[in-house]
Amino acid sequence: MILKAFFLALSQIGDPRFRRVLFLGIGLTFALLVAAYAGFLILIEWLTGAQVSLPLVGEVTWLDDLLSVGSFFLMIVLSVFLMVPVASAITSMFLDDVAQAVEDRHYAHLPQVPRIAIWEAFKDTLNFLGVLIGANALALILYVMFPPAAPFIFWGLNGFLLGREYFTLAAARRIGPVEAKKLRRRHIGTIWLAGTLMAMPLSLPLVNLVIPILGAATFTHLYHQLQARG
């Protein structure tokens, strides 16, 4: 079921509307990574009171630093740690567009649903970011205590959180938040596994740039498949 949902999502990359959202997501992701990296440079200079040298980058010289090849690679490494919260933000902002593109192609018999208000999407994003940051901050203790198991803890924790959020957002468009949570509880194992399989490639530089949009499409298919099963 999960693989079927994923390959259906992957097959739609050629759809112009789906591809447009995909490129918007990649652009936004890259912009957020640049902003995060710029903030990192500001913090370094503020703490040191002077320009410093960084691995792969050399001396911090702001604009040159941000546009350098070394900075690009450092941002790619930074993306490994930032992509989980970034993914949640992209999902909330673009879920309607992705889900509608999926439903127009594969579930055209369904009636149209009203779009989620921008403020509601923004509020959901902030709430979920808070949960992600808090959970991962607490998980740092486990990472330190059990270093060999750290990747599995990371994937399991964030897979649960991402699966829970993505599925709820996809389902709530059709059946509302209350019924979406009921359906999620009935199929929590499948949703957790799908979220974990999604969290794993978020650890891979460059690959993680396309995963959020594919994840939104995959969970839209997964919702319709689970809803059909009851």
Q: For residue range 195-206, list pLDDT tens digits in order.
A: 999 888 877 766
Query: How many residues are given for the chain?
Result: 230
Average pLDDT along the chain: 78
pLDDT grade for 63, boundaries at 50, 70 and 90: very low
pLDDT grade for 48, boundaries at 50, 70 and 90: low
pLDDT at residue 156 greater than cutoff 70: yes
CA distance 33 to 36: 5
Cα distances (Å, whole numbers) of residue 88 to 158, 171, 200, 222: 11, 16, 15, 18
DSSP 204: S
Q: What is the pLDDT of residue 79?
A: 61
Question: Which range among 53-67, 68-82, 129-143, 171-185 has the greatest average pLDDT?
Answer: 171-185
pLDDT at residue 144 greater than cutoff 60: yes
Longest dimension (CA), the chain: 62
Looking at beta carbons, which pairs linking 84-87 to residues 24 or more positions away fall under 8 Å? 84/132, 84/136, 84/158, 84/162, 84/199, 84/202, 85/129, 85/132, 85/133, 86/29, 86/32, 86/33, 86/212, 87/162, 87/202, 87/208, 87/211, 87/212, 87/215
Q: Is 214 exposed, middle or buried (0-12, 13-18, 19+ CB in 10 A)?
A: buried
Contact by Cβ (8 Å): 218, 5: yes
Q: Which residue has the higher pLDDT, 60 or 17?
A: 17
pLDDT at residue 78 greater than cutoff 70: no
Neighbours of 59 (CB within 10 A): 10
pLDDT at residue 219 greater than cutoff 90: yes
CA distance 34 to 40: 10
Q: Which residue has the higher pLDDT, 217 or 23?
A: 217
pLDDT at residue 18 greater than cutoff 70: yes
Q: 44: which 2 tokens?
A: 């370094």
CA distance 33 to 50: 23
pLDDT grade for 55, boundaries at 50, 70 and 90: low
Q: Which residue has the higher pLDDT, 95 or 60?
A: 95
pLDDT at residue 69 greater than cutoff 60: no
pLDDT at residue 87 greater than cutoff 80: no
CA distance 172 to 183: 10
Q: 73: which 2 tokens?
A: 């690679």
